[in-house]
Homo-oligomer: A and B are copies of this chain.
Amino acid sequence: MIQLFADAPAGRPKPAAYLLAAYAAWFPAASVFICVVDPGVGSARRGLIAEADGRLYVGPDNGLFELVLRRAARASCWEIGWRPTALSASFHGRDLFAPVAGRLARGEMPAAMASRALPRGYPDWPDDLPEIVYIDHYGNALTGLRGQCLPATARLAAGGHSIAHADTFAAVPPGDTFWYVNSNGLVEIAVNAGRADRMLGLAVASPIEILA
């Protein structure tokens, strides 16, 4: 059991979806992900099991799985029909998704607790998102852009600054801002020995512009 994020973008499935797609790609087939960014909990929104390239995802039908499904060579989706004896109105992560994920991790088939369904689609979401999707513990600002989108010669505009590429932190002087392709393949804006979020005024959903 690994806790990938203790602080995924609160109440924001869209940035979380780009983050999930980038991070899940490093896990082996048959990994099960419980994904809980769930502002609609307790409403009529459905619960889903998604299978994408052999990995399994459990969570709300709110776009969280849009990018893992879109990028997968093989994908299937089920609506969770099973219900626990006690289902709170505000914590389906604990009451519904965790038991379903546990059963999947033990080898049960999705069809034992869910029926085939199409997820809600988000066709207007781009393949790569030119926005900040996460601020990490150090103040680095992750974007929803995969590194393959950008040549190393590209500059980014964010928070009123124009930002050039560097390979890693130690390649620029302390205090300098740069962008690089992080260890999960996402374009990330950082400051050597500093906090990019504070220096550039960045937060989740802040827009990024590619200057070419």
Residues of A within 8 A of B (CB): 7, 10-11, 39-43, 45, 88-91, 94-95, 137-138, 167-171, 180, 182-183, 192-193
Q: Which of A95, A167, A183 has the most CB of B within 10 A?
A: A183
A90 to B192, CA, bound (A): 12
Give chain B residues whose Cβ lies under 8 Å from the Cβ of A11.
138, 193
A10-B138, A11-B193, A138-B10 known; A182 and B39 CB under 8 Å?
Answer: no
The chain B residue sitting closest to A139, CB to CB, is B10
Are B10 and A183 in contact, CB atoms less than 8 angstroms apart? no
Nearest Cβ distance between residue A163 and chain B, in whole angstroms? 16
A168 to B138, CA, bound (A): 33
A19 to B89, CA, bound (A): 19
The chain B residue sitting closest to A6, CB to CB, is B137
Give chain B residues whose Cβ lies under 8 Å from the Cβ of A90.
168-169, 180, 182-183
The chain B residue sitting closest to A40, CB to CB, is B170
The chain B residue sitting closest to A185, CB to CB, is B88
Q: Which of B89, B168, B182 contacts A168 (CB 8 A)?
A: B89
